[in-house]
Amino acid sequence: MANELVELNVTGMHCNNCAISVHKLLEKKGLQNVLVNFASEEVKFSTNEQVTVPEVIAAIEGLGYHVIEDATNHHEKFYQKVDNKLIFCAIFTAPLLLHMVLPWHWLHHSTIQLAFCIPVFIVGCLHFGKSAINSLRGGVPNMDVLIMIGSTAAFVYSLVGTIQNLGENYLFYETCATIITLVLLGNLFEKRSVTQTTSAVKDLVKFQQVDARRVIDGEVEVIHATDVKSGDILLINTGDKIPVDGDIIDGDASVDESMLTGESLPVDKKKYDSVIGGTILQSGSIRIVATKVGSHSVLAQIIDLMKRAQAAKPPIQKLGDKVAGIFVPVVILISLLTFGITYYAVGTSMQTALMNAIAVLVISCPCAMGLATPTAVMVGLGRAAKGGVLIKGGDTIEAVANTKYVVFDKTGTLTTGKFKLQDINVLDETPIEKIRGVITAIEERSNHPIAKSLVEQLKPLAKEKVILKTVSEEKGLGMRAMDSDGNNYFLGASKDKIDTAFNLSLYKNQQPVARIAINDDIKPGAANLISELKKLGIKPVLLSGDKTDRCQTVAQALGIEKVHAEKLPDEKLSIIDVYKQKGKTIMIGDGINDAPALTKADVGVSMNDASQIAIQSARVILLNTDLNSLLFFMRVSKHTLITIKQNLFWAFAYNVVAIPLAACGFMSPMLGAFTMAFSDVVVIGNSLRLKVKNLR
């Protein structure tokens, strides 16, 4: 049970303050790897020996939130829905407001007003009260504390006036009811808006919720995608969503992979090609063998990455969190000072002093500060994902700001990686068929673009099959292997400085047996990318393990002035460190030898067809092959950061202006409740603009 990762679905968290309460609670219990996302209603943590999951669930529910089994099948009860609570409260609040304009004297009667107010006050206590009390227990008082103090003060003051028959100057039932009703309206808008910010993840989850046709002994049975097991044979026809990752064993097809790569053009697939769960079969009929199912599938891993990215806090959020954490006690103190100064020092009436104090409570909005960063990050990450860019952490967005250098690997990054075999120069008596067989057998075990291209071109020509006992890849050097006869081979970068046409050398038992000449083309869009980076004041750098002359050729064609060639992984690491000291550095690469440098850079960017190690090391993955998606990622990051700053400015400015106005009596509690409710909506609305904003 130790160190098991637990994921819970928790409802009832309406803003980042709620998430902070849950986060602090779990940390106090000594749990590790805590991630709390109020928008997706998810809580993750690693268990320890001292605390059981039922204990954690009980503690979370003790804070006033609800832990549910399955979020997809969860349906709120009628009386739990915010919109139903709002309608109920609005029905009783309307007469209390209308009594101020209608001539019906019975509406002015204190007991009638009390009767209309009590149902609304009870709903308010049930909706806000439990959360307020438990947030105080947890040491992170939330907005509900302010709402409850304000509405309760108005209700109790009015109740005392009714019991003692002190007259209509002591009746503020409409203030109590209107505060609760308007804040419920704000909660409804907030809930619907926040749901939109997480739509990117929810759209991806929908791709998983499909049926599959499993073939057993020639019979076809329909099962849910979650019931597919690795090794199952599945039949997929035109128009179907591919249920899981797999390899085609029969048929040809055209597959729409836009949900993964953002590219609209379908991809042709044939026998032995891989397909990804969630993509759509546009035409054709295929049978596949399931290879990756459940949490191991590409789609499941992307969803998990996005959820974790949304929960990762950028440094700019820490300011908002700190202020939100101390905000409620400060506002309560300002409210008490407002009452004391207005009543005792200025000498106004008890009613005026109380209304000013209540207005201070209900106009204040810590939620706007709590929502400012996470909502913008969620929308930004979703916009990037739909454009074929997977960002692993919300903090990555801020790391891109003020980038000074973008360091490129050459092979497979700036060049196509589709290498053309020019020539094989045999250096001893070994038959060419044997050479082809050895090269093919060795390179089949590598993910490097050169290896893939050599296998594709040599496999049909390799007549003599070579059986290898062991194969290992050495970062930045090449491949070592031993065949069934005990011969040792090394295939790697050529050490020949005289004839640079030959890129690779094959050694057998430490003796050179062949040299291989290959070349590749520059990627379409690479020149445009370098040009755009220069316009942004960013310096492009080429860092490669390839020969100097070939690196210089590519650099000159693209306009890159700084070139570091023939570098091993540890040397790449040192060079990245030098650039980091000069300014923010992005590294983009795709091979195993790039992995350390990708980790070392401020932001590591990997291509989708890169080695698994490179993808794991990078913080950003470009899911399509278009290099200009790097520019798209940088634009999304820039505009997300702008949106965060706009949101934080509004949240701070709103409170800085509104609280003094309320304290001085220029805003009534009802107007305060109305503006407070909509301050959240303004922040969320500004974040949602990112979905459609022109990023150029």
Distance CA(261)–CA(605), nearest Å, equals: 15
Residue 594, token pair as written in the block: 């790039």
Distance (Å) of CA 676 to CA 275, 295, 574: 50, 42, 52
CB 601 within 8 A of CB 234: no
Question: Which amino acid type is present at position 397?
Answer: I
Distance CA(517)–CA(534), nearest Å, equals: 33
Beta strands (DSSP E) in 225-332 are: 233-236, 245-250, 253-256, 267-269, 274-275, 280-284, 286-292
Distance CA(155)–CA(175), nearest Å, equals: 8
Distance CA(549)–CA(541), nearest Å, equals: 16
Active site residues: 409
Token pair 């210089």 is at which residue? 552
Distance CA(65)–CA(328), nearest Å, equals: 20
CB 341 within 8 A of CB 666: no
**Rg for the chain (alpha carbons), in Å?**
32
Distance CA(594)–CA(591), nearest Å, equals: 5
Please list, in sequence order, all residues whose beta carbon lies within 8 angstroms of the beta carbon of residue 690, skipping any fewer than 6 positions away: 376, 379, 380, 383, 639, 640, 643
Helix (H) or strand (E) holding 68: strand 66-68
Nearest one of 186, 202, 189 to 378, comparing CA atoms: 202
Nearest one of 696, 684, 691 to 203, comparing CA atoms: 691
CA 267-268-273 angle, 5° bins: 105
Helix (H) or strand (E) holding 6: strand 5-11
